[in-house]
Structure 1
Amino acid sequence: MAADPALSRNLRGGEHLLAVLVLIWVGGLSVWPLARLFVEAFAAGEDGRAFGLMAEVLSARATRRALVNTLMASAGSVAVSLVLGAALALATGLFALRGRVAMSFLILTPLLIPSQTLALAWIEMSGNSSPILRPLGLAPPPGTTNPLYSGWGIAFLMGIEHMPLVFIAMRAALTGLPADLVEAARVAGAGRARIVACILLPLALPAALAGAILALAAAVGNFGVPALLGIPGRFPMLTTLIYQRLNGFGPSVAGQVAVLAMILVALALAALALRALVLARLAVPTGSGAAMQPFDPGRARPWIEAAVWAVIAVIAVLPMLALLATALSPALGVELRPSTLTLRNFADAFANPTIVRAFANSLQLSVAAAVLCALVALPFAFLRVMAGNPLVRALDWLADGPWVVPGTVVALAMILTFLRPLPLIGSLYGTGAILLVAYLARFLPLILRPVLAAAAAIEPAQDEAARLFGAGPVRRMAAILAPAVLPALSAGAMLAVMTALNELTLSALLWSSGNETIGVMVFALQYEGNSTAAAAVSAVSVALVLGMALALDRLAPHLPRGTLPWRG
């Protein structure tokens, strides 16, 4: 049946209108602010010399020191991430261990828990008043500085935080290998050790390296760990230098910090380009077929499980217990016993109207950002997958920009873009609206990626039939696309809420009085020396995030494979 030409023009017109709206959204929130940052960074110096501002900032001693520290700490963190992530991926990917889903979930908690909370938990666990180490006689002597307040402490903690990126990449590569490779090796007489060393490891190595390079890009833009450890430890990095410059001098130094932000962008993009090169040059075709089944570890099972659980306890469980113990202690240095245990820190924290307002602000901002991004993801997926719109295909990778570049860069781009009054809306700087705009740009990819994956699985004939019968874009989205991608859309929205709820990197530069967020309050309380209150606020925020993650896990049977990383 031939389609009516007038009807086809009307349908295309509706799709074009949707494409223009998506262009305005992505262009206004993602492309324009980052482009504005580029313009500011390449401005002339005070003497009018071309690229003078960049030359001044790059030649400054503080810039060179922060750059060297950033590279050293990031490289050290990658080594930690690679060793830990690869070892845990091998153990849980190669062997049929009991409780593998629980293991995977706990291994990924450093990525689910915000960096400032992770840093605070490790500060409490490794200090001289540690509720974990002091009863064992392993805490540093009283009066000594916490050993984590150093460059190696930052590298170690960032390595733990970004270790899940290596774990996810290598675990996915191992579990996706075809079973016929292993079976062929067994038929040829190869033992298990030789199969692992000569077949499985070489095939999984490119994925592990790609995950490590992704961890490097994340470490370069990390703010929470360097802020809580590097500022008191006098170990400046690029992200903390940007924060301190803006915090001390305000928007008057926006041009200078824009140059610092461009260094972060260059480092992150170089890391991502290296990752793409590794995957292109080193990836080995493995063919198709049934996925490899984990080996039966036999009598070694208890020892492997004990080793995995021991590592999980150190990187995920004990720091959180130390954080909770600090929150339940009447004061720092007081040994936690049944007689000293108190909920006073929680009561005092939530009697503070600023902290209560911070929780309300974070919940409202994260939910609003998730809902609005979900509303944008639907027409985006429709135009990208079902309609095949070339404009939206071009916007696909641009939408990832605010997620790929460090959050500090995104925050600075928002300041430069929305500092001056705009027609009809005025200036957004110093308002809650600029936080929402930054969240919308930053967290759109978290919802968009699973929705695009789910949309790609829809049978194209369904949409073609609806189009031939005259259904417009909105009706096709509502009747065909929305029901098919609803689980992925819900999962992406919840992931966005979980990520945005305790976000600090954007909020540290964009918050204002009355618009505090949870991450800002944890950072401020710890910076002021009120560790017990910071621990109490952090404990509640962690409980919220983990509760959401467990609720999301209930949706696992209805989600596209790979949506929940702990489910493999």
Structure 2
Amino acid sequence: MADTSLSAVPALPGRRRGLQVDGEKILLAVLLVYVGLFALTPLALLFAKAFGRGETGEFLGMIREQWQSVAVQRALWNTLKAGALSTLISLVIGTAMALLVGITDIRARSPLVFVLLLPMLIPSQITALAWIEMTGPQSPILLLLGAAPDPGTKNPIYSMAGISAVMGVEHATLVFLTVRAGLRRVPRDLVEASRLAGAGPLRSTVSVVLPLAGPAVLAGAALAFVSSIGNFGVPALLAIPARYPMITTLIYQRLSGFGPDALGSVAALALILSVLAAAGLTVRAFAARRTRMVVEATSAILPRFQLGRWRLPVEAATWVLLVLIAILPLVALVTSSLAPALGVPLNGRTLTLDNYRFALFAEQATRRAFANSLFLAFATAVASGLASVGLAYLAVIRRSRLARIIDLIADAPYVIPGTVLATGVILTFLRPLPFLHASIYGTIWILLAAYFGRFLTLALRPTMAGLEVMEKAVDEAAQVAGAGPMRRLFSIILPMATPAAAAGALLIFMSALNELTVSALLWSTGHETLGVMVFSLQHEGNSPAASALAVAAVLVTIALAGLLALFGRRLPQGIVPWQA
């Protein structure tokens, strides 16, 4: 009888086994260079610059100079106030919507959730522009209601309250998704016990559901706060005209005014944002740990409370709120894009498509911005998708400790404010590159480098989640059969991971297409992006053209989101962020 043990055929498998180790080392090295160059190095150089000596040569002089600056203290206080107020708004809206959708018998949940997700799908600068058009003196909605501000008066949205309100609405979706996920972990039997004890729906919600979902609520609030203090799109369009300085806008203005000469002070400002973000993320991590400790996941969903005679009023109030915060700003944006000029009322005789012709076809800079954004989004999506498959394979299937460390590092450029990353990227690529003796500063390639670091985690999370549910024995069987790591990666892992990686790549494409926070500090003439052009047109006073370009970007974004939602139905739970 033939010996079928592995020891009977040592030669060929032994050689292949040696190739396996080399293949994994090569793959790890490539991923380490990728993440190290685009994620770790910018942040390391940023912190080194921030902790450097100032103009006087004092130890930690750069940080001391910023802390002692009245302008920085004012911007920091404004950032904290606006961040706290916007977080409160996000918390109220997001938690209320999560409870209504998650534990009541409210109808039309799918349309309701879609409308609720609109602020997250639309870039922040376009959201701010939509609110400007809805609340200004020429707002067609306010004019129809007779509530428009008098011509020539200041738009009320240009204020701390307006900034906080827009950011609060935009980030309410983050709280909604976090709390809704937390509600799925609340044990059904505890809720049913409270009902059997005679507690009504409201009392059960207040005394049982909310306390158990409390860590999720806290995690959502921390995420909303971190997003608010790092938001640049809304402050760029609202805080700068309102003369309400915030840390993100102060960084932008210093770099715009002084260029690379301001990198020292900007690095110290970015460090302040990083500390605030780290504090918020620490609270979120603590809350997530508490969520796992307090209750265990249950397969049974919570019973839906019957609203009874209150259902119609609750539904009406919910839809009024959602239309007000999500639909009407977009309607105002569309009507502004159809007006011939700023201040001209829109009617059947004045309606025109000239703004679209100008923004999409006649203006060379906007055409160039479309081409640049499409290239950056596509290249980032492809590169990040491929890198995520390799890294997920090593971290999830091969259980490589180094791969898991690389995975943690890859998260950092996305969770920190974009202005922080952009500052680090400038420090990294300002000088000529080794061997090439050329700098990519002031070219489109520095934008691509920043995007590579910024968006990798958006593809990595879905890909790792997809491989987590994969049967590990498939890879082990191929390894026993003598297949090397590269062969297993391309013939077994890649086909299985492609759907999840493609979903992540599509999410990257949608996010990168309208990106502003990073691009605002890195773009140069001839290398504009869509987000930059919307901001620039509005800043120049050409609101109709800015609105037209924004509407076009919104349509593309919604189309991509619809494609991702359709594609996500075939994927495991959690691959698509807003998947029900």
Is the structural similarity TM-score above 0.5? yes
Amino acid at match of 2:129: L
1:412-432 superposed Cα distances (whole Å, 9 cap, x missing partner): 111111001012332110000
Alignment of 1:196-211 (within 5 A): 196-211=205-220
Q: Distance in 2 between matches of 1:354 and 1:79?
A: 39
> Does 2:104 correspond to 1:56?
no
Q: Kindly, what percent of the aligned residue pairs are identical?
A: 50
Partner residue of 2:184?
A: 175
1:308 aligns with 2:341: no
Whether the 8 Å CA contact 1:447–1:496 is kept in 2: the answer is yes
1:392 pairs with one of 403, 409, 419: 403
What CA distance in whole angstroms lies between the structure 1 residues aligned with 2:179 and 2:230?
Answer: 23
The answer for the alignment partner of 2:453 in structure 1 is 441
Q: Which residue of 2 aligns with 1:372?
A: 383
Return closer, same or farther for 1:288/1:2 CA change in 2, 3 Å cut-off.
farther
Does residue 1:363 correspond to 2:341, yes or no? no
Structure 2 Cα separation of the partners of residues 281 and 237 of structure 1:
33
Number of the residue aligned with 1:82: 91
**Higher deviation after alignment, 433-442 or 132-141:** 132-141
Tell whether the 8 Å contact from 2:394 to 2:400 is kept in structure 1 after alignment.
Answer: yes
- 1:234 aligned partner, one-letter code: R
Hey, what does 1:278 align to over in structure 2? 287
Asked if 1:70 is matched to 2:79, the reply is yes
Corresponding residue to 1:328 among 312, 328, 338: 338
Task: Give the structure 1 partner of residue 569 of structure 2.
Answer: 557
Deviation sequence 1:328-352 (CA, Å, 0-9, x none): 0112222222222111111122211
Please name the residue that 1:128 is paired with. Answer: 137
Distance 1:508 1:193 in 2: 47
1:287 is displaced (CA, Å) by 5.0
Match of 2:278 among 269, 275, 280: 269
Deviation at 1:525, TM superposition (A): 0.4
Mapped contact 2:466–2:575 kept (Cα < 8 A): no
Contact 2:17 2:484 in 1 (8 A): no
**Residues 117 and 447 from structure 1, CA distance in 2 versus in 1: closer, same or farther, beyond 3 angstroms?**
same
Pick the aligned partner of 1:354 from 365, 374, 384: 365
Distance change >3 Å, CA 150–CA 336, structure 1 → 2: same
Q: Which residue of 2 aligns with 1:503?
A: 515
- Deviation by residue 1:419-473 (Cα, 9 ceiling, x = unmatched): 0101233211000000001001000000000100111111111111000011111
Match of 2:263 among 254, 272, 287: 254
Shift of 1:478: 2.1
1:157-236 alignment, distance < 5 Å: 157-236=166-245
**Alignment check: 8 A CA contact 1:105 1:566 kept:** no
Contact 2:187 2:295 survives alignment (8 Å): no
Q: Which AA in structure 2 matches 1:272?
A: L
SS at match of 1:566: coil
Q: Secondary structure at the match of 1:470?
A: coil
RMSD over aligned Cα, in angstroms? 1.5
What is the deviation of 1:537? Answer: 0.3
3-state SS of paired residue (1:516): coil
Alpha-carbon distance in structure 2 between the residues aligned to 1:191 and 1:148: 41
Give aligned pairs, total: 568
For 1:142 and 1:47, how far apart are their aligned partners in 2?
50
Kept in 2, the 8 Å contact 1:46–1:52? The answer is: yes
Q: CA deviation at 1:556?
A: 2.6
User: Which residue is equivalent to 2:499?
Assistant: 487
Name the structure 1 match of 2:524. 512
User: Is residue 82–residue 163 contact of structure 1 (8 Å, CA) maintained in 2?
Assistant: yes
Give yes or no for contact 1:175–1:293 (8 Å, CA) kept in 2: no
| Partner in structure 2 of residue 416 of structure 1 | 427
Q: TM-score with structure 1 length normalisation?
A: 0.97
1:109 alignment partner in structure 2: 118
Q: Structure 2 stretches of 5 or more lacking a match?
A: none
> Letter of the aligned partner of 1:481 in structure 2?
I
Who is 1:543 aligned against?
Answer: 555
CA shift for structure 1 position 281:
4.4
Stretches of structure 1 that go unaligned for 5 or more consecutive residues are: none
Name the aligned partner's letter for residue 317 of structure 2: A
- 1:239 corresponds to which letter in structure 2? T
**1:382–1:286 distance in 2 versus 1, CA, 3 Å:** closer
In 2, the alpha carbon distance for the partners of 1:554 and 1:289 equals 25
Shift of 1:192: 2.6
Q: 1:564 to 1:287 in 2, by over 3 A?
A: closer
Secondary structure of the structure 1 residue equivalent to 2:202: helix
Task: Kindly indicate whether the alpha-carbon contact (under 8 Å) linking 2:184 and 2:297 is maintained by their aligned counterparts in 1.
Answer: no
Deviations 1:303-342 (A, max 9, x none): 2222221111011100000000000011222222222211
Give the secondary structure class of the aligned counterpart of 1:462. Answer: helix
**Per-residue deviation at 1:293?**
4.2
Deviates more, 1:188-197 or 1:308-317: 188-197
Partner of 1:145: 154
One-letter code of the match for 1:531? S
Q: What is the TM-score normalised by the length of structure 2? A: 0.95
Residues in 1 aligned to 2:442 and 2:325: alpha-carbon distance in whole angstroms? 37
| Letter in structure 2 aligned against 1:151 | M
Matched residue, 1:461: 473
